[in-house]
Structure formats: C-alpha cells, structure tokens
Chain A
Amino acid sequence: MSKMEQSSEEESIVIETRWNIPFAHHAGRTASRFFRAMRDEQKIYGVRCGQCQRVLVPARSFCEQCFVPVQDWVEVGPQGSIESFAINCMQYEGLPTPPYVIALVKLDGADTSLLHWIGDLDLSNVEMAASRIPIGTRVEAVWKAKRDGAMTDIAYFRLL
C-alpha cells in the first residue's frame, strides 16, 4: 500500500480553535429606562400597545403584532403567577448551578410573561418540588440588595 492510500483506521488530525470574543451590547433608550427603574426604584414596568392594548413586559419600543411604536409606560407586578416552569438538572458552561427552577411568570397587570427563576424552594427531591408549584401558583419578586441594571436585579421569585 502506498503512503497516500488511507485505511479506515488512519488517524484523523484534530485542529483545536476557540472563540473568546468580548462584546458590548447597547440596550438602547427603552430597555435602559426599564433597567433603571428596576435598579433605582425596585419597580417593574411594561408598555401598553395603543392598538392591541396588551401590556408588554419587559418594556420595548414597538409592538411586533401591530407593528406600531409603543410608549405608554405601566407599572406591573411585583406579584404574579406561574404560567409554566421547568427544573434544570444539568450544568452548562455560563449558566446557573443546577438544579434551578426556570419559569414563565405573568406579572399582575401584564399580558405577557417574564422568563425568570423561582427561588427559596427545596429542590432535594425534584419531583416533589415540582408538585408544589402547579400552574397558577402565586409568586413575588425578591430584589437583590446590590442592583446594577439587569434582569438579574430581581434575585428570583418567591412563593407567596
């Protein structure tokens, strides 16, 4: 066999590369105002669409459905109810330490849900924990002591 002929067992060479690239995402006027209200006033705001009348949370500058700008700010929450949830049991790079409960929380006064965590829950038995938070369970935002203008200024939602 010549050197250029390959057998199926032949070593496949591996070239290792890495992406490690910093980014800076500008939140813009609307999201910045939303985050400032969380950071400075511990308040959660949505915006009401003048056309469909839905209160959209988190706040945004336009309604995708009606395709119009929105600017009518409305305070929502801090209480709400669980629309659905899941309990992540796997560790992923850059994500919280498992197990943790991720949930869609519909805040009082809002027509949409917020993706966030349910905390203060004994997760030693996941099945049992899940049975404690059926859809509709009432929850309330718990604020972080030191807030820096991010969705994580809400530390988690606790059961009421």
Chain B
Amino acid sequence: MQRVAVVGVGQTHFVSHRKDVMHSELCFEAVNSCLRDANLSIDDVNAIVFGVMDGFDGVDCLDRWCAGAAGGYGRPFMRINTAGATGLSTGIAAYHQVASGLSDVVLAVAEQRVSESLDAQSILNTAACPIYDRNIGGTAITLGSLPATRHMGLYGTTHAQRALVSVKNHRNACLNPFAHLRFEVTVEQVLQSRLIEWPLRLLECCPRSDGAVAVVLAGEHVARSLTDRPAWIHGAVSMADTFFYGDRPDVAYRDNLAVAARRLYRKVGICDPRKEIDVAELYSPFTSLEIMQTEALGFCSEGQGVRLVEEGVTWLEGDLPVNPSGGVLCTNPIGATGLVRMAEAALQVMGRAGEHQVNGVKTALCHGLGGVLQFQTLMVLGAEPR
C-alpha cells in the first residue's frame, strides 16, 4: 500500500447540449485540462479508469468510443458502471490501483452526454426490473419524491424548507464557472415552479447535463514531486444495497448511507463528522435527498436536516458547507457526476476552488449515489496525508 493524492483535475463546462463536439471529444477535452492542471503529459500516466452510464448516448460499449480520447491508446484501460454512482466508483477504482503500489499515476475519467437521448426517461425505464417493476412507471424523480413524502410524514418537513436547499445551491452555482444552471432563485420561485412529481417541483430537481471530468491520482513520491499542495485521499468506501426499492425499511436510503458513512468514519478516524469535516460535495439531485443525506452522514440527528439549511450551517459561509459548487441540483452529467464531486472536494482541499472556495478546508467529504439509492460511495480527502 502507498499513500495516494489527487494532483490535478479537469472539467468541461457543463451545459444542456455540447453541439460543437462529438461524444469522445468531451473526454479528450477533460483529460487535457486535467493533465495541464497537474503539469503531466499522457506519457506519465500508467493506466486509465473510465466511467460512463449506459443508454443515454444510444451507443453500447462507450468504452470503445472513448478509450483513445481518454488517453487509453497502448495503456491499461478499464470501464466502470454503477449507474449514478459511476463517477465516484471510477475515482475509487483509480485510488485502489495507485494505493496498491502497482501503478504510480492513474487517470480517472468520467463523462455523460445526457442530451443525445431525446427521451432520457425511456432509457431510465429500462433500468427497472422488467419482470416486476418496469410497467408501474416509477421515474428518475421517484427516487427523490418517495423519500421526500416520507420525510414530510415523519418529521413535518415543509415544501418551503426543502425550497431553501434549492436557493442555497443555485446561489453557489453562480460562483462556479463550470456549473450548468447559473441563476439565483427565491423560495417563492421554487414553490411556484412547475409540479414535476408531488411533492417535488422543477426547481427542486437536477437538470440533464453534458460534460466530462478527469482527475489524476498519484502515489506519495510522485505527488510530492509535482505539487506542495495535493489533496490526500484518506479513505473511501462503496456499498451496494438491494435491487428492490420496497425492501428498504422506512424507504430510506438513509439506512444504507448511514452504514457506509459509519464504515468510512471508522476507516479514516473521524469521530464527530459535523466538527471534523469542513466541506461536503454530495450526490443530491433533489432537495429532499440533500436534507436526508446530511442526516445519514451524521451532520445532525435524524429528521433535523432541514434545520442545518435553515440555520445556515450548510451554506457557503456556514460551519459545514454542503455542495458549495452548486452541486448536482444545478449540474448533472449522470455518470460523470460522482467524479465531479471528487474533483470539487479535491479543489477545496487544494485551496483552488475559486469563488466558491470554503475558508480553511483541511478535510473534505465527497459522495456518489446510483441505481435508485442502491449504490453508495464515499471518500474523504485531506490537506495532510494520513
């Protein structure tokens, strides 16, 4: 085992539709930006791990189309897919390769081009079990709406409280040049936006984004030779839960995320996450999920997630900013989204997040979520090696 650090990141600007490039060219753009950021050339890279989710692009085996564009020509190359969690699973796979000592420099690359499918929900329909679930008509939004209703019923959470999460994240996205939706919203605008799937309204739901992201990871020796301020990876966990939505007690993905978080905190020595974590980038495509995730991650007790946003704790100026980049609510290139969380967490630790930089970040948490709350991935990065 060797210590591993993130030494460079590259993101494309995320938009509804990148008409000026074809699919593979998005990868090429992100990888080049990442290598420039790390002051490396592709010849310094030992292996590439590539992540993308199936279907949206209408092309099977996207690993074929993108291997060369990701730098894979003549190099070890593998593809990862865990639905929405793909991006961070890709980062974790790259971390494991370097940590093992078998590679010193590994590129994690993830991308998605949700715009190429003219009907993204039809793709997502095919992710449901064709035997038992598919013709009932759960949608991508259902993974946020069912927990939202449950949270309202159990804890009295209101539409207006959830709307505050949207206000916060849209405000943050205005400070992030790579974010897709960059406009501010008010609680009233959120509450008056179109009803998509009760209780969730349009401004409580993520957009569909095109874009790519690359993160380069290096072993300790190489990392120290490249930069005096890398983002050290302290540890990561990933976990699969049941395929059956209805199997989870309490509908709550809170259960599986809470389990994953406990495993991670034990692994990296975090006793009080609220105090010891300085910033978190979470896979929160709906307002409801951010609230429940902050509870599952132990930032507050069960049912108290709305108080964190009401009291300003999770805002950019708060004690524990959540999604300072604007998060998934403002940018969602699905298979890439988890790796964007890792890139943003690394930028925060390296002090290079720009206008949405949180002051004095020593420890950052990032999270990926996929498969209707089935896959949970978490990673902690720090300014000092552990």
Contacts and interface: CB of A to CB of B under 8 A. Distances in A.
Interface of A: 8, 12, 17-19, 23, 25, 27-28, 31, 56-58, 64-65, 83-90, 92-96, 100, 102, 104, 106, 112-117, 126-127, 130, 134-136, 150-152
B243 interface: yes
Interface in B196-218: 196-200
B262 to A, nearest CB: 17
Contacts, number: 121
B82 interface: no
A136 to B, nearest CB: 8
B153 interface: yes
Contacts of B245: 104, 113, 115
B136, B198, B246: residue with the most chain A Cβ atoms closer than 10 Å:
B246
B121 interface: yes
Contacts of B142: 86, 88, 102
B138 A17 contact: no
B121 A93 contact: yes
15 contacts: A12-B19, A12-B20, A56-B247, A83-B251, A85-B146, A90-B141, A90-B196, A90-B197, A102-B146, A113-B245, A135-B149, A135-B154, A150-B135, A151-B132, A151-B133
Contact of B153 (A58, A127, A134, A151): A134
Contacts of B51: none
B122 A130 contact: no
A18 B118 CA distance: 10
B137 interface: yes
B147 interface: yes
Interface in B139-174: 139, 141-142, 145-150, 153-154
B131 interface: yes
B139 A88 contact: yes
Given A92-B119, A126-B198, 13 more contacts: A31-B131, A57-B246, A86-B141, A86-B149, A86-B198, A89-B196, A90-B196, A92-B125, A106-B246, A113-B245, A127-B198, A130-B199, A151-B132
B198 A89 contact: yes
Interface string B25-55: 0000000000000000000000000000000
Contacts of A89: 194-198
B242 interface: yes
> What class of interface size applies to chain B in its complex with A?
35 or more
B122, B136, B139: residue with the most chain A Cβ atoms closer than 10 Å:
B136
Contacts of B137: 88, 92, 95-96, 100, 102, 117
B336 to A, nearest CB: 21
| Minimum-distance CB pairs A-B, first 7 | A113-B246, A86-B145, A135-B153, A87-B198, A95-B137, A92-B121, A84-B150
B133 A113 contact: no
Contacts of A85: 146, 149
A151 B199 contact: no
Interface in B173-199: 194-199
Given A85-B146, A115-B246, A116-B136, A95 B125 contact: yes
A113 B136 CA distance: 14
B136 A93 contact: no
Nearest to A107: B246
B74 interface: no
Given A89-B197, A90-B139, A112-B247, A19 B58 contact: yes
Nearest to A117: B136
A104 B196 contact: no
A64 B130 contact: no
A133 to B, nearest CB: 9
Contacts of A126: 195, 198
